[in-house]
Copies of this chain bind each other. A is one copy, B any other.
Amino acid sequence: MLVYIAGSGAMGCRFGYQISKTSHDVILLDNWEDHINAITENGLKISGDVEDLVDLPIMKPTQATQEADVIILFTKAMQLPQMLKDIKGIIGAETKVLCLLNGLGHEDVIRNYIPERNILMGVTVWTAGLEGPGHANLKGVGALNLQSMDPNNKESGLQVTDMLNEAQLNATYDENVVPNIWRKACVNGTMNSTCALLDCTIGELFASEDGLKMVKEIIHEFITVGQAEGVELDEEDITNYVMETSVKAAHHYPSMHQDLVQNNRLTEIDFINGAVNKKGEKLGIDTPYCRMITQLVHAKESVLNIK
């Protein structure tokens, strides 16, 4: 198979690197000039659990021409529509597109560019970091779940699952992936925006009595909206999962903290808490915590003059 990684940041590099060790071909796509130059000149450097240096083709999305068998979407949420426009030339009638972005509502965007039968939705708990252009740091073990959006096209999902497992990415074909996507979004929705605003680690947030109260109100809004959309979600189960995650990740600053506080970049808030508020509005469900946290993060972006 020819596999494109559309958005080759930290996670894209992990997936591209691991797939490059199989019989499949990988092409990385990205728009970051320094990253493209570093990988083109010196290869992709890997450190962390393994030390490696691999030759991998990388180019801008608009420069790719060879039709893809599989495209794995790993952009930031707000870059997704532009990416789908830019890679039009490599999307054939049978090209499968796997979405592994954080957050909610991406299927509505992807449907505008890709026929439903070729869309695979997924969620992953793999992690990765970038040390700098062309240098990924890979630590720990993860997994991912995916499902064909069109139930009649499970076969495509299974083929992609097999390909990912050749790359030791611990993929599972999941007959009901949507609740898992919501579960991860709920973890992000409770920790990312709050830690970014409070400039604190996950452990510091959860050590605060009032922090915990907020977390529980946010979870409740996610569950209420998700259930109203027909997604099977159990509040106690998700609360336990969020609490467990907070313990494991206590010393970490979530990715939105990295974006907003550390790097002064736009955040994905509209696709996490903002998405729940938007869905809530359509369903007639008020979600003031998700709405206010979205407004606070956007106000902070405005204060920092991030565009």
Query: What is the 8 Å Cβ interface bit string for chain A, positions 197-233, against chain B (1 contact, 0 not)?
Result: 1111000110111110110010000000000000000
Looking at the complex, which one of B210, B288, B300, B303 makes contact with A295 (CB distance below 8 Å)? B210
A214 touches B302 (CB 8 A): no
Rounded to whole Å, the gap between the CB of A306 and the closest CB of chain B is 11
Output the least CB separation between A293 and chain B (Å): 8
Q: How many copies make up the complex? A: 2
A190 at interface by CB-CB < 8 Å: no
Contact check, A211 vs B302: say whether CB atoms are below 8 A apart.
yes
Residues in B whose Cβ lies below 8 Å from that of A299: 194, 198, 200, 205, 208, 210-211, 214
Among B194, B207, B209, B292, the residue within 8 A (CB) of A289 is B292
In the complex, A296 has a CB within 8 A of chain B: yes
Binary contact readout A278-306 vs B (1 if CB under 8 angstroms, 0 otherwise): 00000000001100111110111011000
Contact between A197 and B296 (Cβ–Cβ < 8 Å)?
yes
* Distance A148 CA – B160 CA, assembled complex (angstroms): 77
Give the bracket for the number of chain A residues in contact with chain B. Answer: 20 to 34
Cβ contact within 8 Å between A204 and B303: yes
| B199–A303 touching, CB < 8 Å | yes
Residue of B nearest to A211 (CB): B299
CB neighbours (8 Å) of A210 from chain B are 294-296, 298-299, 302
Q: A204: which B residues are within 8 A, CB to CB?
A: 302-303
Most buried by B among A194, A208, A293: A208
Partner of A198, one of B208, B211, B217, B303: B303
Contact B198 A296 (CB under 8 A): yes
Chain B, residue nearest A286 (CB): B288
Q: Which of B213, B293, B302 makes the CB contact (< 8 A) with A209?
A: B302
Chain B residues closer than 8 Å to A302, beta-carbon distance: 204, 207-211
Chain B residue contacts of A197, Cβ below 8 A: 197-198, 296
Q: How far is the CB of A272 from chain B (nearest CB, A)?
A: 15
Q: B198 contacts A295, CB within 8 Å?
A: no
- Chain B residues whose CB sits within 8 angstroms of the CB of A199 once the complex forms: 303
For the complex formed, measure the closest distance between the CB of A271 and the CB atoms of chain B, giving whole angstroms: 16
Nearest CB in chain B: distance from A262 CB, A? 15
Residues of chain B within 8 A of A209, CB atoms compared: 298, 302
28 contacts between A and B (CB under 8 A): A194-B296, A197-B197, A197-B296, A198-B296, A198-B300, A198-B303, A199-B303, A200-B299, A200-B300, A200-B303, A204-B302, A204-B303, A207-B302, A208-B298, A208-B299, A208-B303, A209-B298, A210-B294, A211-B299, A214-B292, A217-B288, A217-B292, A288-B289, A288-B292, A289-B292, A292-B292, A292-B293, A296-B296
Pairs of residues from A and B, 3 with the lowest C-beta to C-beta distance, nearest first:
A288-B288, A208-B302, A210-B298
